[in-house]
Amino acid sequence: MSKIFRRISNKFPSKDITKEDLKNKLILISKKEEIEIKLNNKFFLKKNNLAIIAGPNGVENIDMMFKTVDFLVKQKINIIRGHVFKPLTFPYRSNTYSESGIQGLVWMDEIKKYYKKITIVTEVTEIKYLERILLTSDILQIGSRNMQNFELIKEVARSKKIIILKRHFGASLRDFLAAAEHILVENNKNLILCERGIVAPHTHRVTSRFILDIQGIVALKELTNYPVISDPSHASFWAPWVEKLALASVASGCDGLIIEVHPNPRFSKVDPLQALNFNQFKRLKHKILSLCRFFHKKLI
Ligand code: PEP
Ligand code: MN
DSSP-based three-state secondary structure for 11: coil
Residues 6+ positions from 136 with CB-CB distance below 8 Å: 105, 108, 109, 112, 120, 122
Question: Which of 86, 166, 213, 237 most suits a substitution to test ligand 1, by most atoms within 8 Å of the C-beta?
Answer: 166
- List C-alpha distances in Å: 206 to 58, 94, 144, 266, 272: 24, 22, 21, 18, 15
pLDDT in tens, 183-214: 999 999 999 999 999 999 999 998 889 999 99
Question: Which of 60, 79, 81, 123 most suits a substitution to test ligand 1, by most atoms within 8 Å of the C-beta?
Answer: 123
Question: Which of 153, 231, 261 most suits a substitution to test ligand 1, by most atoms within 8 Å of the C-beta?
Answer: 231
283 Cα to the center of ligand 2, angstroms: 22
Largest CA distance in the chain: 69
Residue 89: which pLDDT band, with cuts at 50, 70 and 90? confident
24 Cα to the center of ligand 1, angstroms: 31
- List C-alpha distances in Å: 67 to 56, 77, 116, 299: 11, 13, 16, 23
pLDDT score at 182: 98
Query: E strand or H helix at 178, and its extent?
Result: helix 173-184
Ligand with smallest separation from the Cα of 235: 1
Residue 46: which pLDDT band, with cuts at 50, 70 and 90? confident
For the chain, the average pLDDT equals 94
Question: Which of 80, 99, 141 most suits a substitution to test ligand 1, by most atoms within 8 Å of the C-beta?
Answer: 141
pLDDT in tens, 163-181: 999 999 999 999 999 999 9
Ligand with smallest separation from the Cα of 272: 2
Best CA proximity match to 54, nearest among 40, 75, 85, 37: 75
Residue 219: which pLDDT band, with cuts at 50, 70 and 90? very high
Is the CB of 274 inside a 6 Å radius of any atom of ligand 1?
no
Q: Which atom of ligand 1 is nearest to the CA of 143?
A: 8
Nearest CA to ligand 1 atom 10: 144
2 Cα to the center of ligand 1, angstroms: 46
Is the CB of 227 inside a 6 Å radius of any atom of ligand 1?
no
Q: What is the mean pLDDT of residues 20-46?
A: 91
pLDDT in tens, 49-62: 999 999 999 999 99
More confident residue, 166 or 12: 166
CA distance 13 to 90: 33
Nearest CA to ligand 1 atom 4: 143
* DSSP per-residue codes, 105-124: HHHHHHHHHHSTT-EEEEE-
Backbone angles phi and psi of 41, in degrees to 5? 65, 5
Q: Which atom of ligand 1 is nearest to the CA of 270?
A: 3
pLDDT at 298 over 80: yes
pLDDT at 122 over 70: yes
Is the CB of 125 inside a 6 Å radius of any atom of ligand 1?
no
pLDDT score at 237: 95
CA distance 176 to 169: 10
Is the CB of 57 inside a 6 Å radius of any atom of ligand 1?
yes
pLDDT at 297 over 70: yes
Cβ count within 10 A of residue 66: 16
Residues 6+ positions from 94 with CB-CB distance below 8 Å: 269
Is the CB of 30 inside a 6 Å radius of any atom of ligand 1?
no
Best CA proximity match to 185, nearest among 299, 25, 10, 22: 25
pLDDT score at 40: 84
CA distance 7 to 14: 18
- List C-alpha distances in Å: 92 to 51, 96, 97: 35, 11, 10
* DSSP per-residue codes, 110-162: HHHHHSTT-EEEEE---GGGHHHHHHH-SEEEE-GGGTT-HHHHHHHHHTT-E
Nearest CA to ligand 1 atom 5: 143
Would you report the helix, strand and coil content of the chain in percent, each value rounded to 5? 40, 15, 40
Task: Find out whether 155 and 116 touch, Cβ atoms under 8 Å.
Answer: no
